[in-house]
Amino acid sequence: MLPRGCAGCGTPDEVLCPACRSLFDDTVIVPSCVPGVPVAACATYRGAVRRAILAWKDHGDEECDRPFSQALCALADRMPVAGVAGGEDDDARRIGGRDTMLIVPAPSSKRSARRRGRRHMRPLVRAVAAAYRARGVPAHAEEALASHTMGGRSVEMKGRAGRAARVGGSGIVVTRPSLVRGRRVILVDDIVTSGATMRACAAALRTAGAQVVACLALAATPRYDVSAM
Ligand SMILES: [Zn+2]
């Protein structure tokens, strides 16, 4: 094995040293990001957290998949979710609770995915789904969203996908609406900055008939402005 340093601080022979890993044990609540849905992150996006996420996301540090998955699973465990022990059972019944819950990653643009050579969120959403199943909650990971943006602008699309995209003007579309209709969905992203991506993803899923029950992220910046929503 090649020698490596902690993705957060460079400490030798660590993927993510205990001190940096512990920074991902936070519960950062993102207020008013998606109306009516709890939004939380494992950490605040700065310092070692930022360095580790960038190493993983943009520089191919796939060994961070594991600690980041563990952090997200632990956060999911701390979040009250309808239909899950500790969640709101009335809500669970109302939305048809015992059906399989979908763990859906926020989409990367095709260009970003190509540049990275992988879907960096995939191992994380799979881990979260497996963690729910381990708690007796039927769940599976589903890449149900796609991003049709170029240079930050929505690509013009025709037909159903185009209409769905124009609902939020975000370029985020549900690729297979029949798959998410009537399903509980936990949305997962890497970094919440303005909250606009989470909101757009949730709006697209709701338009397709999904019940978004929680939004989770690895990290959140403190930059969002609640009054601007
Ligand atoms: Zn470290």
| Residue 2 alpha carbon to ligand 1 centre in Å | 17
| Residue 189 alpha carbon to ligand 1 centre in Å | 22
Dist CA 100 CA 37 (whole Å): 19
| Nearby residues for ligand 1 (ion, Cβ within 5 Å) | 6, 8-9, 11, 17, 20
DSSP, collapsed to helix, strand or coil, labels residue 218 as strand
| Residue 41 alpha carbon to ligand 1 centre in Å | 19
| Residue 56 alpha carbon to ligand 1 centre in Å | 14
Phi-psi bin for 215: left (phi > 0), alpha (psi -120 to 50), beta? beta
Whether the CB-CB separation of 177 and 183 falls below 8 Å is answered with no
Task: Give residue 210's pLDDT.
Answer: 95
Helices then strands, each counted (H, E), the chain = 9, 10
Count CB-CB contacts under 10 A for residue 223.
10
Dist CA 101 CA 98 (whole Å): 8
| Residue 167 alpha carbon to ligand 1 centre in Å | 42
DSSP, collapsed to helix, strand or coil, labels residue 189 as strand
| Residue 5 alpha carbon to ligand 1 centre in Å | 8
| Residue 180 alpha carbon to ligand 1 centre in Å | 39
| Residue 11 alpha carbon to ligand 1 centre in Å | 6
Report all structural domains of the chain as residue ranges with CATH numbers, in order of start.
18-223 (3.40.50)
Each residue's pLDDT expressed in tens, for the chain with a length of 229 residues: 568 999 999 999 999 999 999 999 999 999 878 888 999 999 999 999 999 999 999 999 999 999 999 999 999 999 877 555 555 554 444 334 458 999 999 998 888 888 999 999 999 999 999 999 998 889 999 999 999 865 444 445 555 555 554 555 678 999 989 999 999 999 999 999 989 999 999 999 999 999 999 999 999 997 643 333 3
| Residue 8 alpha carbon to ligand 1 centre in Å | 5
